Amino acid sequence: MRWSKDVREPQATRWSIATAAEQLDLQRRPMILALQRDIDATHAALQMVPDLDAVINDECRYDGITLIDLLTRNERGQLLRRYADARTAICVRATELGMSTTQTARAIGMRSHTSVIRSRRR
């Protein structure tokens, strides 16, 4: 085995680590792109309804989470259930302010306005 110049470890080990990092990057790329798409859609929705931004910020601060936590999906493309209570609180407060269910659903990453209606019934 040859030793690398900079680090005291075999070059073969460094190559295997680099290859593993590239494979991990390729596996995560679709998830990162989907999250970026959700963030862009949320940003566009919040530009149209500025009051909803304050509601989301209040609820996220209360629950100690970020907007990215609300938008993160699992491997099957579903929103994470552990943040369902925060999304429900956002839906309730948004409808109390008179915002449409469609605007609310777009802002917090739900697939359709019926998800907002169902979450309010809980």
Condensed to tens digits (0 to 9), the pLDDT of residues 60-106 reads: 899 999 888 888 888 888 888 888 889 899 988 888 888 888 888 88
Rounded Cα distance, 44 and 25, in Å? 28
Q: Please tell me whether residue 8 adopts helix, strand or coil conformation.
A: coil
Whether 1 is in a domain gets the answer no
Whether 70 is in a domain gets the answer yes
Q: Is the pLDDT of residue 39 over 80?
A: yes
Give the predicted TM-score (pTM) of the model.
0.67
Cα 22 to chain centroid, rounded: 23
Query: What was the pLDDT predicted at 61?
Result: 92
**What would the DSSP string read from start to end of 63-122?**
HT--HHHHH-B-TTSPBPGGGHHHHHHHHHHHHHTT--HHHHHHHTT-SSHHHHHHHHH-
Query: What was the pLDDT predicted at 10?
Result: 58
Is residue 11 very low, low, confident or very high in pLDDT (cuts 50, 70, 90)?
low
Whether 64 is in a domain gets the answer yes
In sequence order, what are the beta bridge partners of 73?
79
Domain that holds residue 36: 11-121
Whether 4 is in a domain gets the answer no
Task: Indicate the number of domains in the chain.
Answer: 1
Rounded Cα distance, 108 and 51, in Å? 14
Whether 6 is in a domain gets the answer no
